[in-house]
């Protein structure tokens, strides 16, 4: 009765409101965007009292949960191709973009000092480069005092969209040695961490380690990260400006449910390991439930860019957000 009375008062006096009848949405999946999603969820709840419950379990679980209809949306850093989208009956759209960094724990080597080529990175993770003072690494870092210590590669222990995007990059720079995979069999002797948080925490605690993780976790834990050689031969720092440079080359299509791989793009200052993260919604879900999911992400698109940038993500361009809104309309969603 209280909410009905409030509704009557608001309508009577012509005041605006967002949504007085709170709903609940359940999502699971990718850890890559999890810190940002939690901030968006908090702000959305404070404004609307609508509860979005998101559990960061990894992209593999996000896909599984969506196809088994265990959640209202799954989150995945791995885009599903048309064959799998049709097989599982899922719609897909991007929510935000970000970057994967090579974070390291090297005494006397500060953030942004280490330079790594694609050849060096590929060698570290296939075991052909085993020591920090290997000639391949030293050749691009003549001024650094690199120790004769074994490199300890840190990788994801779970099926991971972050791994998928990282190995996509490796497959571009070393196609004879790598294939894109959510859970590859690494040839190097590695240590696994659960989620980006587990990888990042392990790197922060273990000297002489290096691993791939999402940029926001580097920021959160104050990790050091390498400058990476890009497609045009420039060593590029992991910065928002360089991520944005890479995103200029992303092409999205409603007709293909926004399927795209955007790493290793052109551009002199383009950071080479960038990726989008995606939302998966069951096609047979009730329109009301689809609308609730869409309303949350529409809110994030309208108000969440500043928070995304603060955390180290790159918001989608306005034209892409409008494409997604049109995509929702095609699926029967009416936002307001």
Is the model's pLDDT at 248 over the cut of 90?
no
* Same topology between domain 2-98+249-330 and domain 100-247: yes
Just give the CATH number of 100-247.
3.40.190.10
Average pLDDT across the chain, whole number: 91
Which range has the worst mean pLDDT, 206-215, 263-272, 293-302?
263-272
Reading the block at residue 156, the tokens are: 């994801």
Is the model's pLDDT at 5 over the cut of 70?
no
What digits encode the pLDDT tens for the residues 200-221?
999 999 999 999 999 989 999 9
Is the model's pLDDT at 107 over the cut of 50?
yes
Q: What percent of the chain has pLDDT over 90?
A: 81
Sheet with 115-116, strands from edge to edge, namely: 115-116, 227-229, 235-236
The CATH topology of domain 2-98+249-330 is D-Maltodextrin-Binding Protein; domain 2 (3.40.190)
Is the model's pLDDT at 19 over the cut of 80?
no
Q: So what's the pLDDT on residue 198?
A: 95
Average pLDDT rounded to a whole number, residues 42-60? 94
Average pLDDT rounded to a whole number, residues 288-306? 96
Whether residue 26 contacts residue 71, with contact meaning beta carbons closer than 8 Å, is answered with yes
| Confidence band, pLDDT 50/70/90 cuts, at residue 21 | low
Listed by start position, the domains of the chain span: 2-98+249-330, 100-247
Max CA distance (Å), the chain: 76
Compute the distance between CA of residue 116 and CA of residue 292 in angstroms, rounded to an integer.
44
Q: So what's the pLDDT on residue 92?
A: 98
Nearest to 218 by CA among 306, 305, 313: 313
Average pLDDT rounded to a whole number, residues 96-114? 96
Reading the block at residue 203, the tokens are: 């790197």
């Amino acid at each position: 009765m209280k909410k009905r009375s409030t509704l009557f008062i608001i309508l009577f006096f012509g005041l605006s409101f967002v949504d007085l009848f709170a709903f609940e949405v359940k999502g699971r999946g990718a850890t890559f965007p999890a810190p940002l999603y939690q901030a968006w969820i908090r702000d959305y709840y404070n404004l609307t009292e609508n509860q979005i419950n998101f559990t960061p379990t990894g992209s593999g679980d996000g896909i599984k949960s969506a196809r088994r209809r265990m959640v209202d949306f799954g989150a995945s850093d791995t885009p599903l191709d048309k064959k799998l989208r049709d097989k599982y009956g899922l719609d897909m759209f991007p929510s935000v973009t970000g970057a994967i960094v090579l974070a390291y724990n090297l005494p006397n080597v500060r953030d942004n000092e280490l330079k790594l080529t694609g050849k060096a990175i590929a060698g570290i993770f296939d075991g052909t480069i085993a020591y920090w003072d290997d000639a391949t690494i030293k050749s691009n870092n003549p001024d650094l005092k690199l120790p004769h210590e074994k490199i300890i590669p840190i990788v994801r222990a779970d099926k991971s969209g972050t791994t998928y995007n990282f190995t996509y990059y490796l497959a571009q720079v070393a196609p004879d040695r790598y294939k894109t995979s959510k859970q590859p069999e690494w040839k190097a002797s590695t240590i696994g961490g659960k989620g980006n948080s587990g990888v990042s925490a392990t790197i922060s605690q273990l000297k002489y380690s290096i691993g791939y993780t999402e940029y926001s976790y580097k920021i959160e834990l104050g990790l050091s990260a390498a400058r990476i050689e890009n497609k045009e031969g420039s060593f590029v720092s992991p910065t928002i400006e360089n991520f944005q440079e890479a995103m200029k080359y992303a092409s999205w299509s409603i007709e293909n449910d926004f399927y795209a791989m955007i790493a290793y793009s052109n551009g002199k200052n383009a950071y080479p390991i960038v990726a989008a993260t995606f939302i998966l919604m069951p096609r047979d879900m009730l329109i009301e439930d689809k609308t609730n999911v869409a309303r949350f992400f529409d809110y994030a698109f309208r108000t969440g860019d500043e928070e995304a940038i603060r955390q180290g993500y790159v918001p989608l361009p306005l034209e892409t957000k409008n494409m997604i809104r049109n995509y929702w309309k095609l699926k029967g969603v009416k936002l307001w």
